[in-house]
Amino acid sequence: NETLLRDEIGRYLNINPDNIVAGNGSSEMIELVMKTFIDKDDIILSFIPTFSMYSIFSKIYSAKFVGIKSNDDFSTNMDILIRIAKEIKPKVIFLCNPNNPTGYLTDKNEIKKLLESVDSIVVVDEAYMEFARDSVVEEISRYKNLIVLRTLSKALGLAAIRLGYMAACEDIIKVIKKVKSPY
Ligand SMILES: *Cc1c(COP(=O)(O)O)cnc(C)c1O
């Protein structure tokens, strides 16, 4: 049952179960963010290379995907991303952390700096965070523009059961639930 599941995830992440929405993999959560917040011609910003579904869903929802190239050693520069975000005002910023496919891990303080510098919704996709450290999931109570995505597909090897979830503040969860199908 859904309440039991959210209670269990809440304990696992040390957050309030009311701040969680679970669904058919984090892929559904990525699409749900688009469905909920993206209007035609909105800008979606990300470092590249990154998880391909961000740009694929951007296309499907008629948004403009802007990718900022990683450095040759796969590191990324948050100050550049913040500067560009201030300029082009993306509706949503996707940050895959650790990043698929490069494995680059962005420092938590860099993500906090981003959250404090922009009005955009910042989606931190933590599909591989069980293999790393520096999750920002507990920051959802502090930042109203933060969405964290998690999945059982990678560390737990359960891709076929299709279970992923999002953590965010009450206001975001409320509007996401209005858009999400109940199944
Ligand atoms: C695998 C993956 C997903 C999607 O996984 P689901 O099976 O839909 O939960 C999302 N984001 C990243 C970065 C991934 O690598």
Tens of pLDDT, residues 32-42: 999 999 999 99
Rounded-to-integer distance, Cα 128 and Cα 51, Å: 12
* pLDDT tens per residue, range 47-58: 999 999 999 999
- Ligand 1 touching residue 34 (CB < 6 A): no
* pLDDT tens per residue, range 57-114: 999 999 999 999 999 999 999 999 999 999 999 999 999 999 999 999 999 999 999 9
Q: Please report which confidence band the pLDDT of residue 183 belongs to, taking 50, 70 and 90 as the band edges.
A: confident
Rounded-to-integer distance, Cα 120 and Cα 62, Å: 18
Residue 2 pLDDT > 90, yes or no?
A: no
pLDDT for residue 15: 97
What percentage of the chain carries pLDDT values higher than 70?
A: 100
Q: What's the whole-number average pLDDT of the chain?
A: 97
- Nearest atom of ligand 1 to the alpha carbon of 100: 13
Query: How far are the Cα atoms of 21, 37, 65, 172, 173 from residue 178, in angstroms, in the given order?
Result: 11, 12, 25, 10, 9
* pLDDT tens per residue, range 111-151: 999 999 999 999 999 999 999 999 999 999 999 999 999 99
pLDDT for residue 182: 83
Beta bridge partners of 150: 165
End-to-end CA distance of the chain: 12
- Ligand 1 touching residue 50 (CB < 6 A): no
- Ligand 1 touching residue 153 (CB < 6 A): yes
pTM: 0.97
| Ligand 1, pocket-test mutation among 153, 158, 162, 166, most atoms within 8 A of CB | 153
- Ligand 1 touching residue 151 (CB < 6 A): yes
Q: Please report which confidence band the pLDDT of residue 155 belongs to, taking 50, 70 and 90 as the band edges.
A: very high
Determine the average pLDDT of the residues in 21-45.
97
